[in-house]
Amino acid sequence: MNLEVVVGEPAEEIARFAEENGVDLIVMGTHGRTGLAGILLGSVTMGVIRRTCIPVMVVKCPEGLK
């Protein structure tokens, strides 16, 4: 497996990589922030969802790992 460091906006680069490599499903984690914290911090996951038509599965971080 080749590992590569990519410089750029994370959501855009994740979506681009998935589309260029024939990915069927993108799985991403979230801390589950809501309200003002979620809005102010932004969300790479939401950015990926907005940028691609590939299905995105969002997995919430278990309470003990936050």
Regarding the domain delimited by 10-65, which CATH topology (the fold level of the hierarchy) does it fall under?
A: Rossmann fold (3.40.50)
Pairing of strands 26-30, 56-60: parallel
- The domain segmentation of the chain, as residue ranges, is 10-65
Strand partners, 59: 29
DSSP string, the chain: -------S-HHHHHHHHHHHTT-S-EEEEE----HHHHHHH--HHHHHHHH-SS-EEEEEPPGGG-
CA-CA distance, 44 to 66, in Å (whole number)?
Answer: 17
pLDDT in tens, 14-59: 999 999 999 999 999 877 666 666 655 568 888 999 999 999 998 8
Whole-structure pTM value: 0.77
